[in-house]
């Protein structure tokens, strides 16, 4: 039983490590853009507006009311 629980515990760790690696690889090319304040503001604005757009599109597709 202890071996089973040890194996079950490995799956969340594996998921976390894979997710952290993917996030690291996605953010590595973006890091130099954050050094320039104008580019940083533009990047943050683009991320926020695309997130809001994605939420609105998904809520419209699922037929849920928009709740902010």
pLDDT the model gives residue 53: 95
Digit-coded pLDDT (tens) for 23-66: 999 989 988 988 999 999 999 999 999 999 999 899 889 988 76
Distance between CA 22 and CA 68 in Å, rounded? 29
0.75 exceeded by pTM: no
Q: How far, CA to CA in Å, does 7 sit from each of 17, 20, 41, 46, 65?
A: 16, 20, 44, 41, 41
């Amino acid at each position: 039983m202890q071996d089973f629980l040890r194996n079950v515990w490995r799956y969340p760790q594996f998921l976390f490590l894979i997710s952290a690696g993917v996030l690291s690889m996605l953010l590595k090319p973006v890091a130099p853009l954050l050094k320039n304040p104008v580019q940083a503001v533009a990047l943050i604005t683009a991320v926020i507006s695309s997130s809001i757009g994605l939420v609105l599109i998904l809520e419209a597709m699922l037929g849920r009311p928009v709740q902010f």
